[in-house]
Amino acid sequence: MTEVIIGSRESKLAVLQSEMVKSYIEQKNREENAGSEITVNILTMKTTGDIILDRTLDKVGGKGLFVKELDRALLDGKSNLSVHSLKDMPMEVPKELPLLAFSKREDPRDVLVLPEGVAELDPDKPLGCSSLRRTLQLEKLYPEMEVKSIRGNLQTRLRKLDEGEYSGLILAAAGLKRLGLESRISRYFTPDEMIPSAGQGILAVQGRKGEDYGYLDGYCDRDAWLAGAAERAYVKYLDGGCSSPVAAFAEVDGDEIFIRGLYYSEATGKWLTGQIRGAAEDGEKLGIALAKQLKSDCEGR
């Protein structure tokens, strides 16, 4: 009997995402009837990022705060895997804790959610938004609206919205859809209207170096891996943490990849978007090339 322990944040969405990986491992084991039965359990924990809710992420160390406790559990042997939303993963990943696989991508778009029973935005209340990336792009989409930071898990944010604190929320479609809350979506933003966060809609499975992860064979989605790697290369080149006001979104079509990027210059206060296309296998190089170009254009170099 082999036991696999998956480390997960304790939020409802995080546990559901870990259960998706758990189901894959169990189904694969049943189909292959490998001789040694695998049991899979989920170990939940509250991360520092879940505890500190009174400040924006860029003030308290970025979204790396959502993975520290899960990393420690992996290193200490308390878990065999961690499941993360790729958009919450720091760009620098410890060599001893490699990323093993990316899931097939869920809807990567950002969306507008209105209070229940409401049909349009109330200009007297702010839009709730958790990232500088979204805030920048919202100023162009809704120049008349105030944007106010909101923290907490998805259920907490929706409760604050429905209690009247906000006119609307900007959220990721993926989380809402995975939780069966697609009906709450009032508007989808196209990637040209609002470039998503790097990795949005992709689940990342992280493991421990030197371990046998044969039970994950077949889980990794090729297109998601190529797109996610290109997006992360773009952000990493710009030295952007997950809370930095940069964005990258890649689409893979066969052997071709199309990448959109956003760059914000703190020095000039300007931000630009751009795009690049090329061979899918060169996605990381293309992501870096786009980052270099936008940084040069934005800072006048």
What's the Cα-to-Cα distance from 38 to each of 33, 166, 208, rounded to whole Å? 10, 46, 18
What's the Cα-to-Cα distance from 42 to each of 37, 141, 212, 214, rounded to whole Å? 17, 40, 19, 19
Active site residue 212: no
| Secondary structure letter of residue 208 according to DSSP | -
The two tokens of residue 238 are: 């710009």
Nearest by Cα to 38 from 55, 51, 25, 48? 25
Choose the catalytic residue: 50, 71, 88, 107.
88
The two tokens of residue 122 are: 């109330």
Alpha carbon distance 26, 10 (integer Å): 21
SS3 category, 99:
strand
Cβ atoms 20, 103 nearer than 8 A: yes
In this structure, which amino acid lies at residue 202? I
In this structure, which amino acid lies at residue 148? K
Catalytic sites, residue numbers: 88
